[in-house]
Amino acid sequence: MAKPPVERASPPTKPAFRGLETKLVHAGADHVQGAVVTPVFQTAQFEYAGETDYHDLRYIRLNNTPNHRGLHEKLAAIEGAEAALVTASGMAAISTALLALLQQGDHLLAQSCLYGGTHDFVTDDLPLLGIEHDFVDGDAPGSWRAKLRPRTKAFYLETLSNPLIQIPDLEAAVEFARSHGLLTLIDNTFASPVNFRPIEHGFDLSLHSATKYLNGHSDIVAGAVIGGAELVDRIRRKLNHLGGSLDPHACFLLERGLKTLAVRVRHQNASALALARFLEAHPAVIRVNHPGLASHPRHARAARLFGGSGGGFGGMLSFELADGEEAARRFVERVRIFVRAPSLGGAESLVTRPATTSHAGLPPAERERLGITAGLVRVSVGLETVEDLIDDARAALEG
């Protein structure tokens, strides 16, 4: 006879779990058999225990093993939301959320300059299902209304844009969406919950590529959807059908990574700001894009939105070299600590040239118009000693 499922362990976010670090370490922990760390439940299915709804059968694809549940609880707790869902990748979180919320004939309003995968999903895949879209300047609220249609259902934004680290008018977006009955979705990957918690600012859904800061060790691909219980449940049911569920071992690694999220991101915030200040003062550099610099056009907005509860301006920055493409190429070739690789948010500092990597698909004139020049270098600041990073950058600039 099957025992009833162990609906136990931590009652959702114990009142004692107040601070972000405490939630990161303890929320959702399953001390099964006295284990301090939630073990990997490497089993595809569990015995029947009287479930009546298909979606409640305990099976990895149905996103409800103890490893999934623990993560859901932790992710909801750290962004102050009712519920969360982990997915097999960031793109699984984004595509599944959009597919769950939009149907044929619906219209999506989205900020322009989205993450490449999201942009292509919206422009290549959604139209095949009869779901239309318009891109708007996320920092020009006055222009949004003209793009509304009778069947506009949702407004999609990113907390920080890649690679210029721009910040849309997030407060206006929430207000606009509320007054027009739109759902708000925001890709919060670049900020991480340490620096920005979208639900606290009125967004309906926060999406993550957990591949980046949430896991933080560049060793798995995963995603997350965080928000109200009803919305997350709709998305969970869609995910159950589409099948993009996270494997329990990857759940285990993600939970392990999450425990140090706040410590890592605060270190990265501080190092990125120090590196940004160094670069800004260097004669070989003409522009540095980092929201912690007073020269960032939205520095005041960033300070208002990201500064609370020990948050900061993030670990991402980009900069433009005075001598353009050739100098950028030299910089990327000469660095010895920074690793030349895509992605972000891990322990290793990374460099890329967006014009030849993430944005290589854009026509050169369009790239230049957006400000993604051939002389632009993007950096994901890792966990190394910041003086070493600055010395490495100096040597690469002057070498």
Ligand X SMILES: *Cc1c(COP(=O)(O)O)cnc(C)c1O
> Which two structure tokens, joined as six digits, stand for 76?
């909801």
Q: Is 187 a catalytic residue?
A: yes
Cis peptide before 150 (omega within 30 of 0): no
**Among 221, 237, 254, 265, which Cα is nearest to 117's?**
221
User: Measured between alpha carbons, how far is 355 from 361 in angstroms, rounded to an integer?
Assistant: 9
* 206 makes contact with ligand X (CB under 6 A): no
Distance CA 201, CA 255 (A): 25
For residue 311, state whether it binds ligand X (rule: CB under 6 A): no
Does 196 participate in binding ligand X (rule CB under 6 A)?
Answer: no
Give min distance, CB of 268 to ligand X, in A. 15
Q: Which is nearer to ligand X, 183 or 214 (CB)?
A: 214
Nearer residue to ligand X within complex by CB, 139 or 187: 187
Would you count residue 218 as binding ligand X (CB under 6 A)? no
Query: Which residue is nearest to ligand X, using beta carbons?
Result: 90
Residue pair 222/247 in contact by the 8 Å Cβ criterion: no
Q: Which helix (H) or strand (E) holds 274?
A: helix 261-280
Alpha-helical runs (H) found in 103-247:
116-120, 170-179, 192-195, 229-242
Residue 85's H or E segment, with its range, is strand 83-87
* Footprint on residues 34-93 left by ligand X (CB under 6 A): 89-91
**CA-closest candidate to residue 77, choices 161, 32, 17:** 17
What are the angstrom distances between the C-alpha of 193 and each of 78, 197, 312, 313? 7, 5, 11, 12
Q: Is 115 in the site for ligand X (CB under 6 A)?
A: yes
Active site residue 212: yes
**The only residue of 209, 268, 352, 380 in contact with ligand X, by rule CB under 6 A:** 209
Whether 156 is a known active-site residue: answer no
Contact region with ligand X (CB under 6 A), list: 69-77, 182-190, 333-341, 348-356 = 182-190
Task: In angstroms, give the least distance from the CB of 190 to ligand X.
Answer: 6
Answer for which of 17, 46, 144, 190 binds ligand X (CB under 6 A) is 190
187 binds ligand X (CB under 6 A): yes
* Residue 213 annotated to the active site: no
Q: Is 157 in the site for ligand X (CB under 6 A)?
A: no
Is 211 an interacting residue with respect to ligand X (CB under 6 A)?
A: yes
Residues that are catalytic:
61, 115, 187, 212
Can you give the binding site for ligand X, defined by CB under 6 A? 89-91, 115, 117, 158, 187, 189-190, 209, 211-212, 221, 223
